[in-house]
Structures are given as C-alpha cells and as structure tokens.
C-alpha cells in the first residue's frame, strides 16, 4: 500500500558525483540530522547512517524495515535506488530546495490502501499485499486471466462469479462498442432506387430485422446501402443484405458497422423551400461489432446491440445472421522463415531503397502506391532501420489470411524496437492482434515512471483494440495493480473516458476490472476523491454563475460542506497526485472571467506546507494536460542528453469534462504584474524583469544564479512553445519565479490554432521572446556573449527534440480520437512535423531557429499584445497592486524600521552597470539610532516613489514634478545635483512621515552597503569578455566540416568587437575567401548585424565541387567588417586559417582571435 517516489535514470554527467545536503528527521531524536551524501549513494545507505545515530547497537536492526519519506509528501524513497535517481531529489536540486526526509518504520506507515485478505474475503480476491508492494498472488493469476476473458467478446456467463458480480454492478447491461476506421463495413444512406446486387456476388450475408424503440414522430423512411450501393428500402422488417466479400479474404479484425440514416419529417405549414433544406439525410446512430469473436469464430448470432446515438439511447436494432451447420474459425497462420541472405548489412538502407522517403515513418506521411509496392518488395532490407517497421507494415498489400505468413515472419525476425518506436504500432492503422501483441511486448520494458509519461496515449489506444481480452489490456491492468501511482492515474483516465459516448461502455468494463483488482481500501479512497471533486465542481459552478456581491456568501456555505466531509473521513488524496494527502481546506476565488477557485489544502504531514491548487470549472483541461505532458517529455529528453533546461513542470489533471485541478507554483508572478509595476506601458520597457529579479535576488551571486536559470528556462520555453504551436501568449500566461525560472501556463490554444482578430492572427511572432527578456540575458540593452549562449542553448535543445520527431508524432497521433477540438486530424500533426523539420540537417536547423529568435525579438506585435492585455485587465486590478515599489522585495513600516528623523542627499555617483546613469547617495537618520544609514537610489526610483505617492494621496498638494535637485544630471533644462547637506525630505507633508511607501523606499537594501564608501568602479555589462584595446580585436566562432566534395563553414558568433572611431557600435558582417583567389570568385558573406559588438549569425556558407586534395592547398580568409553606408566599410578584424592543418574528416568548432592578419588553426 505504499506510494513509491518516481525514479528516473540519471546520467553520470548530471550529478552522480555531486554531493547533496540531506536533513533527516526521526521521532527518536529531537534535533534533525544533516548528512552530506553522494548522488549515487543508495537510500538504504542513508538509512543505515541515520540508524547509527538512533540505535546503540545495529546487530538486530534490519535496514529493510525502515523507509524515508519526503516531508510534506505521502510517498517513500525506494531503498535500493540511488538518491539522485528519485524525481523528488531532482526537483529539490533544480529549485535549490532543502532536502528534508523523515525516517519511519514500515509498521508505522499508513497502510489503508493495501489489499488484504480480510478486506477482500468473499469478493473474488485477486491480490495480496506483501513485501511493501502490491504483489501477484500465485494462485490468483488464473483468476485475472478469467476476469479479462469474461469481459471479452460476448461471453454469456462469467467464469468467476465474484468478478462477474463486480462487473455487473459497475457496468450497464450492454455489449461493447468496437470501432476501427480501416476495415469497418458501412451501411449508409443512398439516393438511387432500390435494387439487389447480382446474385452470387457475395459469400457473406446478414439479415437486418426491426429497430426497436425508434421514435417515429421526427423521422421519415430512407433507404440503406452498404458502401454507398443501394440495396433495399427501410421497412419494419428488412430483407437480407449481401456483401461481395469472400469469408476467407476477411481479416480477423473485420468489423460490421450498421449506420441508421433518416430524413426529418416536414413541419406542418412550412414552405417547400424550407422542407428541401431540412430533408437532408441525418445519421441517427450506429452499431459496430466484430465479425469474428474473441475466440476467433465467425459470429452466427448476436444479442441486441444498443444504438450509439446523440439523439436517443434506447433504440436497439435486431441483426440476424444466417444459420450454419458448422463453425467457421479464423486460424492464425505460422510465420514463414526469412532468408538469411536478406539480413546482410551490405544492402542499401531504407531511404535509399525508396528515394521518396526522406524521413522516418510518421502518422502524417501518405505513401503513394508505387512507394508501397517498392517498400514491400524490399521489406527485408529495412530491418537495419528499426523505426521503419510501421511504415513497412503500412505498405503490406493485404491483411487477409493468405498474406499473414509473410507479415508475421517479418515481425518475428525484426530487430527489437525501443518503446518509443513501438508506440507507432498501437495506432488504429494496425488492428492486427499479432502486431499489437509484439508492440506491447516491446513496450513491456518501460519503467513505472516512463509508463506514466505515456499512459494517456495507451489509454486512448484501448479504443483501437478489437477485443477487450487483448495484450494491451492485460499489460495495463498488470502494471496498474503493481504500482499505486499507476493505479491512481489509470483510474482517473478511465473515468474521463466514460464521457466518450462512443467508447463509454468499453471504459466501463475496464474501470470495473481495475476496481475489482485494486482492493477495498483503494476503492474507498477513489470514492472520497470523486466526492470531493464533485462537490468542488458544484461549488465552483455556483460561484461562477452568482453575482459578484453574492459570491463570498456562496463560497462560505459551500466550504462548510467540504469541512464537514474532512471532519468525518479525516483525510483524502488529491487527484493531482496520490502523494498529496490533505485533511482540510481554505478557499477563495480569482477575479477573472472564469472565476476559478483558489484552494489551499491543509497537509496531513505537519512537516509539510499547505498545498495550493486552482480548481477550474468550465475549461477543458485535457488540452493543458496533453501540452504539459509533451513539455515534460521534452524536459526529460534534454536531461538524458545532458542538457537540463530547468523547466518548471506543474501538475494539471482534468477530473471531468470542463473541470479539473491545476497546481499553483509558489514564489511566482505573471509578467503582467511585473511589468505594470512600471506603469501600464511597462510592457514596452526593457528593465522590469531585470529589476524584479534584482529585487528578489539582492546578492550578486544570487542574481547571477537567477539570470542563469532564466537563460536556460527561457530557451526551453521558446523551443517547446514553438514546436507545439502554443498560441494566445499574453503576459498573464507567462510566469516568472523569484529564482529566475520562467514558465508558461494556460494552454487553451495549441498546434497553431491562433486566436484571430478578423483576418489577423493575435500571435504574430514564432514564440514569445521580447526585449525585456533579452535585457536580462545580456545584462543590459546591448548584446553580450551571454546572448550567444542563449542562442546555442535554443538551437541545441531544438535539434535534440528533432531527433525524437517520431515519438511526438506517435504520441499526438494516438490522441486524435480523444475529442480535443484542436487535435482532430492529420493536419494538426503536420503542424508539429513542419515545426520540427526532420528532413533538415542540424546546421540548417540551427540557422532556421536562429532566424526565428531574431524574428521574435524584433516583433512589435508581441509587446502591443501585452499592452492591450494590460488595458483589458485593469478592471480586475486591485488597489493594492500599486502600493509597492518595484525594486523593494518587501514592504517596511514605521513600526518595523523605526521613525525617520532626517534625510540628507549627500552626493551623486556615475554608474555604468547595467546602464550608464547616476545614483544618489542618501543619508538616513532614525530616532534612537546611534549611526546613520546610507542608501543608493537612482533617479528612476525617486520618480517611481513620487508617482506612487501621488496615486496614494490624489487630493494632497504634492508637487507634480520632482524638485530640481533630484533631476537627472545632464538632462536639458534641469538642474545639477547639489552638494552634501541639502535636505531631501520635505517638512510640508506630515502625512508622509508614517507612509509605508516612504519607509520602504528608505529601508537599506544589500546594494546599499557600498553607499558610504568610494564610488563603485565601472563594470562591464558582459563579465565573460573584456573588449581589447585597439582598432581591431575580438573573436569569431566557426564550425568547419567537409562532406561529399563540399566545404561547410558555419559562422556562429562574434564577441568583443571594437567600437568604431565615432564611439558607436558597428554594423558587422563576415566576408570569406578561399585563397589563392586572384579573381575573387570565392567571395561569400553573411547578413549585416545592426549596432552590436557581439553579433550572432549561425549562417552556413558552402563551397561546392572542391576536391579534398585542392583544399590542402587553400587558405580560408575571414574578415569582419562594419558596413558604413556611403563610406568605405571598416575592417574590424581578420583571421587566416590553413585548411591543411585541419582534420577535414571531422567537424571542428572553436573560437578564432581576430587581428590585422593572423594564422590560426582549431
């Protein structure tokens, strides 16, 4: 009955050799213990070290009887795994959170979710608890097999009566709806007169009888036809329908689909024109069933199947089959042996065999008939391309019985596929049971954490199973009952599937099977969760529909019922995670259009903090769930490749259609609130984000760490939002943590479905990357070498995701039938395919994404969109939002700081970082204080205080402008700063003496420690590079490679260029030649970068048709020049590279020093 902490593989280069500071608490000692542990150390080693302090003798102590629980979470670390492999430890490391664990004996751990023999006595028990985990009982394996077998096909009596009773209680007395788009046989409306097909053209026939309980007041008769051919006229009793298909040519998974069409009855007194418009055939409903049952016998009789219809639910068609004196059984053919000579590696790869296929198999590709034919002919050559199996199988000429030996032989001999590629075989395109069995076998190696990553897609893939007794169903049930975390999410995903009218009956059976196996304690826990969710949904709906003045009263009344619930049952786990155990609730609501509830659940663990959650009602959170799932998988791919983008992944779970829970991230604020601290036009300013981070990270090291977190997370967000086509990106949908981590929320639009203003897209830029974000990265308003790092991170992250194009297309493709409006057809998948550009080389993709960064940074539409949103949200802004100062991390008062007696302006100093300007040193005297304090404030900060005081005291006589002695030095028409001794405060406004804004303004900040000392030395905005002295200088980063008689030169970045003679930043570009070149025919150059000493290009310059021997005699001349318009361009630096000194067989990347003339090698 334990919830085990999720474990993911941790690469050695990501911290296995990093030491962790771990605090362990236990009841036997008063003071917590602090250990320094290696990431690779196992949990049981840490337990052993802790027991050494708590026990005098360890001879009789079994370490296996103890577990470590993260404080605040109802989960436990796995003793045999390394500390650093647990997701909880990785989360603490990412956000620099103290690792706090509690040592507990197993017998003291809650076991209310465990399956016990006593609790399940007489109820068809199939599971026993043992060894800390839910394990299979050996005698119950057959019961599980019988349970799934009893749910398959149309079994008339359940082999296990206990299971049967459970299923009957949980499901309707109905049969299972099957659907598969490839092989279903339609009966649909036609317009031609009735006529029977030629006799003898068919070998399969059915008789359609009466349609019971069909309302007759709204519909008229209409003919029915199979596959568009008119066969008969609908009447109370229908004649036999014959299909021109031989039984021995039917695939095993063939489905019979009968669709009822009808014409509406004309309204009395309506015009003939109106009747013509109304008399269009409409589908009333449909019935689908497999022709072969789960025992592979051809169906000879069917019970009454209910019609699936949005119009009515009680209509039952009667379909009769011709009688037969013998049973017809589909027998699986043996696979043919593959010729060994076809497995040799000398044959060409798949993409050379079929030249038109330039990328791996994806759901968006439609092969031509010629491609299919050639690919199937060369199918045995393709085994070297393991991921090509779905494409090869899609090229099979037929799936009839005679073709199956070749297909199964190919499948049997195929190289073992990884689980990411095997997901492609679970699409509706491949209903064959053997293919799906192999796919499940290949994904069976998934760990529990990996299974949770793909669980929503696997639940959707259940729709494509022809029979309930399938390998996929057995696999999911087996894994669900062996891990409580999988059980939890599997339950809620199945419960959401009940809302799908087309597949609700199937999900009812599966949910009943899961509940039958999971145990009484867990069933009761699910009941508590469902009650809590339903009550909160009802309350949220009432608050949303109520008048604003009545909402608070309705909220109090509704919360009383929830509090009584917790008083009665004690505790309940949240659907967001089984490790979130709560015992009470506090609630408020947001002043927005949707009016979501803001919940604060009381943690059962006294060592943990309250759990803050948003409960939404009226929004379909399934799309948010899917988007966050894709981002989480992207983050894991990056981490596994050694690139931690420090993404913030919050929990989000839809608990029903139009409702769900979203985790609130602490210490985070929206960009809008950060920007409007600088006024409603703050979206057009560059400093708000940097100032906000500086306010919450006053120390130099803290701020640098926050900026580093911002660079990584911002790069990850740019890549993720672009690939997924996330739209509706305004500044209330982007948040920033005080630690510098940026993340996106509210994914109501994705895959390029942008919100439109008429014919204009609201989201005009490829992704959100604005100048205030670049300001944080550069450390000022001019590009620095840190911007190069940002671009490189973006391009590297983008290329890593491109390598997994097939994974994301498979995952999204499996969700096509989930009912999300913006993910419904192949065009939506094509958007992701086009965004990832798998056909491009890494160099071309790098150039492409660099241009996207430039386009986003130069977009004015994004800032204008932010500004419009600021105006629209002003009605929701409370009055307290303007009573804080943007540079102060917290508010100070007269009581907390002490009464100020005098304030003097001492002097002003010139500063260079982050921008050129002036800072004023102010002396602050306080009553009963022996020493004065000195603070530094800029002119802009004085101006912010003045503006907010005028807003706070609108009826006062505060001057409209700042006094002349505080004017910015050097501004035309303004006075110069005065010397020491001039009193900065005014005695004419006594109400300011107790104002919190004033006391907050004059409270010392960490940067004020230097105020009493000497003037700070000028600091470069780019600490990683100091500009060289002279007319030329700097460095250029190049990547040089040679393939197929082509020389590739990627011009990446330049840093540290020297300003021009007039002191302005240059407009640099790069020009290259291959010397000797007397005719200058090898000239190539890049685009011009405007006004920067640290430009980024990422442009590929290619020389084609040059033999390798010729290159040995060549020298690469690279010049960096500044464009001067009508004047001669100015040389900023030059480098010469002898190509014979390079190993052209390998790509070489490095920095080259620029000078007047130099010879360098990599």
Q: Domain map of the chain by residue range? A: 12-108, 184-320, 337-445, 629-877, 882-1010, 1035-1160
Give the residue ranges of DSSP H helices in 803-877: 805-813, 826-836, 842-857, 860-872
**Domain pair 184-320 / 629-877, same fold:** no
| Span of 357-371, 383-397, 530-544, 642-656 with lowest mean pLDDT | 357-371
Is 629-877 in CATH node 3.30.450.40? no
| pLDDT, tens digit (0-9, with 9 covering 90-100), for 602-617 | 999 999 999 999 999 8
**What confidence score (pLDDT) does residue 956 get?**
67
> Per-residue pLDDT for 600 more than 80?
yes
Confidence of residue 760 (pLDDT cuts 50, 70, 90): confident
Considering 254-263, 287-296, 708-717, 858-867, the range whose residues carry the highest mean pLDDT is: 708-717
Q: Which CATH architecture has domain 184-320?
A: Sandwich (2.60)
| pLDDT, tens digit (0-9, with 9 covering 90-100), for 153-162 | 333 223 333 4
> Per-residue pLDDT for 211 more than 90?
no
74 CB-near residues (< 8 Å, 6+ apart):
3, 110, 573, 578, 579, 580, 581, 604, 605
**What confidence score (pLDDT) does residue 256 get?**
85
For residue 556, give the H/E element and its range. helix 551-569
Rounded to the nearest 10 degrees, the angle between the axes of helix 622-640 and helix 700-723 is: 120
Residue bearing the bigger pLDDT, 302 or 246: 246
Q: How far apart are CA 486 and CA 472, in angstroms?
A: 15
**What confidence score (pLDDT) does residue 895 get?**
82
Confidence of residue 577 (pLDDT cuts 50, 70, 90): very high
Q: How far apart are CA 220 and CA 266, in angstroms?
A: 9
**What confidence score (pLDDT) does residue 987 get?**
58
> Per-residue pLDDT for 878 more than 80?
no
Contact 1036, 1135 (CB under 8 A): yes
Contact 541, 617 (CB under 8 A): yes
Residue 538: phi and psi, rounded to 5, are -65, -45
Residue bearing the bigger pLDDT, 987 or 1032: 1032
Contact 940, 920 (CB under 8 A): no
Residue bearing the bigger pLDDT, 278 or 1063: 1063
Confidence of residue 988 (pLDDT cuts 50, 70, 90): low
Mean pLDDT of 1125-1136: 86
**What confidence score (pLDDT) does residue 535 get?**
94
Considering 114-128, 166-180, 371-385, 703-717, the range whose residues carry the highest mean pLDDT is: 703-717
> Per-residue pLDDT for 833 more than 50?
yes
CA 102 distance to own-chain centroid: 31
| pLDDT, tens digit (0-9, with 9 covering 90-100), for 472-520 | 999 999 999 999 999 999 999 999 999 888 888 899 999 999 999 888 8
| pLDDT, tens digit (0-9, with 9 covering 90-100), for 389-424 | 998 999 999 898 888 998 998 888 888 888 999 999
**What does CATH list as the number for 882-1010?**
3.30.1520
β pairing state of 1130-1138 and 1159-1160: parallel
**What confidence score (pLDDT) does residue 593 get?**
72
**What confidence score (pLDDT) does residue 970 get?**
44
| pLDDT, tens digit (0-9, with 9 covering 90-100), for 214-236 | 444 444 444 444 333 333 334 45
- Residues 155-184 as b or e (16 or more Cβ within 10 Å = b): eeebebebbbebbeeebeebbbbbbbeebb
Q: Which among 786, 809, 771, 802 has a CA at the least distance from the CA of 709?
A: 786
> Per-residue pLDDT for 1025 more than 80?
no
Residue bearing the bigger pLDDT, 241 or 900: 900
Residue bearing the bigger pLDDT, 689 or 917: 689
Confidence of residue 356 (pLDDT cuts 50, 70, 90): very low
| pLDDT, tens digit (0-9, with 9 covering 90-100), for 582-598 | 999 988 888 777 789 99
| pLDDT, tens digit (0-9, with 9 covering 90-100), for 177-191 | 323 333 333 333 333
Total residues belonging to the chain: 1162
- Give the torsion sign (CA, 358, 360, 366, 369): positive
**What confidence score (pLDDT) does residue 1021 get?**
42
Q: Which among 997, 939, 999 has a CA at the least distance from the CA of 966?
A: 939
Give the CB-side neighbour count of residue 907, counting CA atoms within 13 A: 7
Question: SS3 of 1043, please?
Answer: strand
**What does CATH list as the number for 12-108?**
3.10.20.90
Q: Which among 63, 97, 60, 80 has a CA at the least distance from the CA of 4?
A: 80
Residue bearing the bigger pLDDT, 340 or 477: 477
For the domain 337-445, what is the CATH superfamily, name and number?
Phosphatidylinositol 3-kinase, accessory domain (PIK) (1.25.40.70)
Is 1035-1160 in CATH node 2.60.40.150? yes
Give Cα separations from 986 to 902, 908, 928, 938, 1055 (angstroms): 10, 19, 21, 19, 49
**What confidence score (pLDDT) does residue 271 get?**
64
Q: Average pLDDT over the chain, rounded to whole? A: 80
**What confidence score (pLDDT) does residue 1119 get?**
94
| pLDDT cut 90: percent of the chain above it | 44
Contact 398, 363 (CB under 8 A): no
**What confidence score (pLDDT) does residue 567 get?**
92
| pLDDT, tens digit (0-9, with 9 covering 90-100), for 899-945 | 888 888 888 877 766 566 778 888 888 888 888 888 888 888 888 88
Confidence of residue 354 (pLDDT cuts 50, 70, 90): low
**What confidence score (pLDDT) does residue 601 get?**
95
**What confidence score (pLDDT) does residue 835 get?**
96
Residue bearing the bigger pLDDT, 741 or 1157: 741
**What confidence score (pLDDT) does residue 1015 get?**
42
Mean pLDDT of 117-121: 58
Confidence of residue 815 (pLDDT cuts 50, 70, 90): very high
CB atoms within 10 A of CB 1020: 14
Q: Which among 89, 99, 122 has a CA at the least distance from the CA of 23?
A: 99
Q: Which among 1135, 1113, 969 has a CA at the least distance from the CA of 1038?
A: 1135
Question: SS3 of 845, please?
Answer: helix
| pLDDT, tens digit (0-9, with 9 covering 90-100), for 653-682 | 999 888 999 999 999 999 999 999 888 889
**What confidence score (pLDDT) does residue 1145 get?**
82
Q: How far apart are CA 505 and CA 510, in angstroms?
A: 9
Q: What does R_g of the chain's alpha carbons equal in angstroms?
A: 35
> Per-residue pLDDT for 60 more than 60?
yes
Contact 813, 829 (CB under 8 A): yes
> Per-residue pLDDT for 576 more than 50?
yes
Considering 567-581, 982-996, 999-1013, the range whose residues carry the highest mean pLDDT is: 567-581
**What confidence score (pLDDT) does residue 78 get?**
94
């Amino acid at each position: 009955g334990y919830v085990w902490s999720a474990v993911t593989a941790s690469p050695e280069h990501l911290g296995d050799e990093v030491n962790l500071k771990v605090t362990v608490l236990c009841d036997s000692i008063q003071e917590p213990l602090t250990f320094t542990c290696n990431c690779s150390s196992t949990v049981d080693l840490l337990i052993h070290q802790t027991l050494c302090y708590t026990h005098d003798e360890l001879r009789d102590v079994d370490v296996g009887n103890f577990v470590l629980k993260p404080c605040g979470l109802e989960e436990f670390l796995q003793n045999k795994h390394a500390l650093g492999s647990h997701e909880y430890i990785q989360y603490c490391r990412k956000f620099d959170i103290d690792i706090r664990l509690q040592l507990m004996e197993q017998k003291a751990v809650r076991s209310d979710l465990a399956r016990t023999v006593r609790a399940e006595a007489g109820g068809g028990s199939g599971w026993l608890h043992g060894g800390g985990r839910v394990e299979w009982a050996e005698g119950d394996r057959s019961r599980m097999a019988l349970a799934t077998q009893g749910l398959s096909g149309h079994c008339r009596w359940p082999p296990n009566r206990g299971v049967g009773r459970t299923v009957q209680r949980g499901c309707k007395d109905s049969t299972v709806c099957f659907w598969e788009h490839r092989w279903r046989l339609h009966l649909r409306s036609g317009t031609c007169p009735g006529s029977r097909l030629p006799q003898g053209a068919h070998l399969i026939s059915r008789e359609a009888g009466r349609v019971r309980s069909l309302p007759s007041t709204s519909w008229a008769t209409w003919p029915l036809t199979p596959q568009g051919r008119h066969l008969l006229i609908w009447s109370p009793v229908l004649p036999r329908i014959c299909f021109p298909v031989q039984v021995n040519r039917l695939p095993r998974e063939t489905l019979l689909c009968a669709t009822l069409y009808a014409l509406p009855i004309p309204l009395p007194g309506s015009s003939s024109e109106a009747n013509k418009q109304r008399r269009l055939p409409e589908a009333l409903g449909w019935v689908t069933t497999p022709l072969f049952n789960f025992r592979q016998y051809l169906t000879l009789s069917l019970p009454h199947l209910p019609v699936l219809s949005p119009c009515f639910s009680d209509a039952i068609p009667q379909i009769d089959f011709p009688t037969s004196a013998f049973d017809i059984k589909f027998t699986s053919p043996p696979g043919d042996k593959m010729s060994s000579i076809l497995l040799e590696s000398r044959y060409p790869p798949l993409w050379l065999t079929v030249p038109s296929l330039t990328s791996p198999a994806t759901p968006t590709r439609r092969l031509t008939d010629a491609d299919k034919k050639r690919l199937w002919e060369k199918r045995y050559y393709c085994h070297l391309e393991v991921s090509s199996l779905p494409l090869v199988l899609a090229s099979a000429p037929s799936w009839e019985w005679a073709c199956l030996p070749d297909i199964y032989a190919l499948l049997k001999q195929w190289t073992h596929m990884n689980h990411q590629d095997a997901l492609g075989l679970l699409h509706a395109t491949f209903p064959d049971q053997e293919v799906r069995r192999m796919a499940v076998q290949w994904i069976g190696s998934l760990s529990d954490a990996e299974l949770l990553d793909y669980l929503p897609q696997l639940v959707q893939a259940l729709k494509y199973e022809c029979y309930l007794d399938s390998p996929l169903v057995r696999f999911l049930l087996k894994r669900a009952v062996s891990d409580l975390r999988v059980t939890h999410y599997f339950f809620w995903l199945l419960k959401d599937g009940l809302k799908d009218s087309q597949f609700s009956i199937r999900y009812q059976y599966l949910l009943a099977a899961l509940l039958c196996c999971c145990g009484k304690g867990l069933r009761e826990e699910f009941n508590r969760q469902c009650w809590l969710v339903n009550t909160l949904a009802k309350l949220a709906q009432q608050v949303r529909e109520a008048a604003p003045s009545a909402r608070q009263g309705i909220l109090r009344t509704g919360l009383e019922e929830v509090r009584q619930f917790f008083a009665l049952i004690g505790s309940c786990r949240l659907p967001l995670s089984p490790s979130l155990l709560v015992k009470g609730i506090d609630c408020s609501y947001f002043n927005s259009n949707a009016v979501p509830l803001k919940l604060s659940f009381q943690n059962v663990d006294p060592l943990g903090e309250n759990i803050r959650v948003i409960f939404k009602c009226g929004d379909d959170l399934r799309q948010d769930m899917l988007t966050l799932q894709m981002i989480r998988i992207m983050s894991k791919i990056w981490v596994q490749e050694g690139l931690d983008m420090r993404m913030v992944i919050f929990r989000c779970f839809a608990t029903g259609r139009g409702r769900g829970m979203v985790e609130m991230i602490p210490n985070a604020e929206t960009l809008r609130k950060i920007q409007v601290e600088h006024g409603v036009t703050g979206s057009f300013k560059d400093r708000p984000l940097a100032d906000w981070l500086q306010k919450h990270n006053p120390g130099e090291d803290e701020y640098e760490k926050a900026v580093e977190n911002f660079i990584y997370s911002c790069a990850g967000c740019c890549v993720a939002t672009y690939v997924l086509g996330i739209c509706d990106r305004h500044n209330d949908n982007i948040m920033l943590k005080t630690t510098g981590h940026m993340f996106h929320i509210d994914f109501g639009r994705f895959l390029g479905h942008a919100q439109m203003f008429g014919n204009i897209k609201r989201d005009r830029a490829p992704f959100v990357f604005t100048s205030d974000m670049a300001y944080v990265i550069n450390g000022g308003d001019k590009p620095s070498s840190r911007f190069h790092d940002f671009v490189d991170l973006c391009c590297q992250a983008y290329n890593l995701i491109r390598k997994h194009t097939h994974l994301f297309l498979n995952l999204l493709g499996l969700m096509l039938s989930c009912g999300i409006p913006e993910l419904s057809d192949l065009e939506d998948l094509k958007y992701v395919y086009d965004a990832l550009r798998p056909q491009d080389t890494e160099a071309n993709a790098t150039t492409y994404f660099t241009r996207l960064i430039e386009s986003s940074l130069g977009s004015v539409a994004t800032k204008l969109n932010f500004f419009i949103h600021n105006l629209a949200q002003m009605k929701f802004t409370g009055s307290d939002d303007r009573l804080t100062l943007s540079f102060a991390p917290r508010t100070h008062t007269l009581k907390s700081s002490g009464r100020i007696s005098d304030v003097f302006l001492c002097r002003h100093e010139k500063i260079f970082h982050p921008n050129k300007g002036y800072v004023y040193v102010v002396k602050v005297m306080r009553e009963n204080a022996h020493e004065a304090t000195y603070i530094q404030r800029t002119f802009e900060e004085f101006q912010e205080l003045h503006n907010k005081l005028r807003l706070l005291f609108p009826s006062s006589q505060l001057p409209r402008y700042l006094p002349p002695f505080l004017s910015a030095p050097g501004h035309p028409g303004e006075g110069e700063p005065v010397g020491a001794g001039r009193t900065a405060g005014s005695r004419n406004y006594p109400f300011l003496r107790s104002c919190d804004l004033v006391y907050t303004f004059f409270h010392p900040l960490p940067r004020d420690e230097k105020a009493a000392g000497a003037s700070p030395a000028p600091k470069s905005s780019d600490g990683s590079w100091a500009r060289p002295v002279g007319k030329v200088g700097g460095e250029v980063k190049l990547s040089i490679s040679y393939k197929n008689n082509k020389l590739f030169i990627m011009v990446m970045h330049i840093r540290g260029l020297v300003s021009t003679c007039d002191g302005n930043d240059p407009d640099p570009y790069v020009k290259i030649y291959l010397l000797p070149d007397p005719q200058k025919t090898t000239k190539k150059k890049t685009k011009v970068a405007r006004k920067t000493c640290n430009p980024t290009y990422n442009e590929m310059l290619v020389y084609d048709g040059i033999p390798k021997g010729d290159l040995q005699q060549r020298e690469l001349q690279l010049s960096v020049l500044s464009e001067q318009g009508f004047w001669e361009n100015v040389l900023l630096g030059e480098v010469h590279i002898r190509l014979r000194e390079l190993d052209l067989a390998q790509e070489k990347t490095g920095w080259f020093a620029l000078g007047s003339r130099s010879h360098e090698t990599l």
